[in-house]
Structure 1
Amino acid sequence: MTDTLAWDVYAKSSKQRRPVNATGQTTWFNWTQYPDHGPGAEVLGIRPESLVLELGCGTGGNLAHLATLGVRTIGLDVSPAQLATAEDRWSGMPGLQLQRAEAVTYLTKTDLTFDAVFSVFGAAWFTDPHVLLPVVRKRLRPGAVFVFSHRPAVEGCYGCQASYINRSADEDPLVVKRWDYEPDRWVQILREYGFAAATAEVVPPPPGPRTIGTLLVRAQA
């Protein structure tokens, strides 16, 4: 299973979603790395009973919010630790399914088609787009969307890059691959694989000392 160890290590060090957000909600949708910031589930343009797939669902917070809106959701992740946390928190929620699977493998084998596929700092960042995009496009219904977010590329560092996941002080970090491009290049790549109405923008960070925004990419089948 791709990078299982790395993502299990990441799961142990990552912060868990708060019980409630700033407005007291127990579920909410967040595309950015900042709490209570940026657009929400409306970016997906879906309705109750829509079928939605998340690539790299982690602990399932965004999926759970969609499920409360009446959306049928499937979340994929390669990390048993992440999925165990998701099961503990959201077990029994109607409309939410979790599966341990690698994104490309699942999309290649499934017969399902989706009203939206999305990824928040997930598999869309850590999978070669020239491998991922064709299989995502094939599983989207007409008019459906593919949306993903992650940190913007470092200037001059484009294409396949190395990400490091720290372990203990006595162990070398684990290395996973990620794919970074400027917004215009993402639009171009998506169009090359048959997506229409593609947009890519950097959502500015909230007011304060942080200066790194969030890349948000959306394309329609």
Structure 2
Amino acid sequence: MSLVESWDRYAVGSKPRRAVNGKGETTWLNWTQYADHGPDESVLGPLAGRRVLELGSGSGSNLAHLVTLGAVGQGVDVAPVREVVARERWGDLPGLEFRTAEATAFLSETDGTYDVVLSIFGAVWFVDPDTLLPLIRSHVAPGGILAFSHLPPGSQGPKTARAGLRHDRTPDEWERILTGHGFSDVRVSLIDPPEGAAVGTMLVRAVAA
């Protein structure tokens, strides 16, 4: 099974995001694997007028939220069904585009420059950082933000064929890798899980030097 087929099958089986969250909001940003848990978009700084790229944009809900706050959003996902779902739900939102592409292929072809790049359990977790990060850095404006989240290293992830492809790194390793690829001010947070859950979330933020 190809990479695209694998992710497309996973996407088809994924549960859609709720229409409204616990606060009654119709759009929101969720860094963790738990509903209504963790920090919000303030991790990314001011968003009005900013060009935002999400690698692994899924159903588009996180990126759509940033666009409602004034950002211009480009979402990229390797699974074709993700683009279909995202366009169906968010296609009428101005300033928001979705594209089916593998992350490194997209970054190798695009001439776009972004102020913010984010990956929530997305490409940064699944693509060799020594391949992906230089490509990301080449498309982030100086002073721009890269932020991504994934499960902490060594934690039990989804029992899928993709589990062996994850690039788990410790906080110290991420700081070293990101600094080596042109980023600075690396901050790594370990977000505790909500009560009753066992696995937290790692959130990494860095600035394009």
- TM-score tier, shorter chain, comes to over 0.9
2:194 is aligned with 1:212? no
Structure 2 length-normalised TM: 0.94
* 4+ residue runs over 2 A deviation: 162-165, 173-176
Corresponding residue of 2:166: 178
Instruction: For 1:164 and 1:178, locate their aligned partners in 2 and report how far apart those are by CA, in whole Å.
Output: 12
Q: Which has the larger radius of gyration?
A: 1
Instruction: For 1:176 and 1:182, locate their aligned partners in 2 and report how far apart those are by CA, in whole Å.
Output: 17
- Identical-residue share of aligned pairs (%): 46
1:53-202 aligned within 5 A? 53-154=53-154, 164-165=159-160, 177-202=165-190
Instruction: For 2:95 and 2:116, locate their aligned partners in 1 and report how far apart those are by CA, in whole Å.
Output: 15
- How far the C-alpha of 1:81 sits from its partner, in A, is 1.1
Instruction: For 1:69 and 1:147, locate their aligned partners in 2 and report how far apart those are by CA, in whole Å.
Output: 17
Indicate if the aligned counterparts of 1:51 and 1:114 stay in contact, CA closer than 8 A: yes
- How far the C-alpha of 1:142 sits from its partner, in A, is 1.0
Q: Deviations over 1:121-175 (max 9, x none)?
A: 01111100000010111111010011000111107x9xxxx9753xxxxxxx567
Structure 1 length-normalised TM: 0.89
Q: Deviations over 1:50-109 (max 9, x none)?
A: 100000100000011011111100000011111111111111111110011111111122
Corresponding residue of 1:170: none
Paired AA for residue 210 in structure 1:
A
Paired AA for residue 187 in structure 1:
E
Paired AA for residue 110 in structure 1:
T
Instruction: For 1:47 and 1:175, locate their aligned partners in 2 and report how far apart those are by CA, in whole Å.
Output: 33
Q: CA RMSD in A?
A: 1.8
Indicate if the aligned counterparts of 2:78 and 2:102 stay in contact, CA closer than 8 A: yes
Residue 103 to residue 174, structure 1, CA distance change in 2 (3 Å): closer
Instruction: For 1:47 and 1:215, locate their aligned partners in 2 and report how far apart those are by CA, in whole Å.
Output: 22
Residue 69 to residue 35, structure 1, CA distance change in 2 (3 Å): same
Instruction: For 2:162 and 2:119, locate their aligned partners in 1 and report how far apart those are by CA, in whole Å.
Output: 22
In the alignment, structure 2 segments of 5+ residues that lack a partner are none
Report how many aligned residue pairs link the two structures: 207
Instruction: For 1:199 and 1:136, locate their aligned partners in 2 and report how far apart those are by CA, in whole Å.
Output: 17
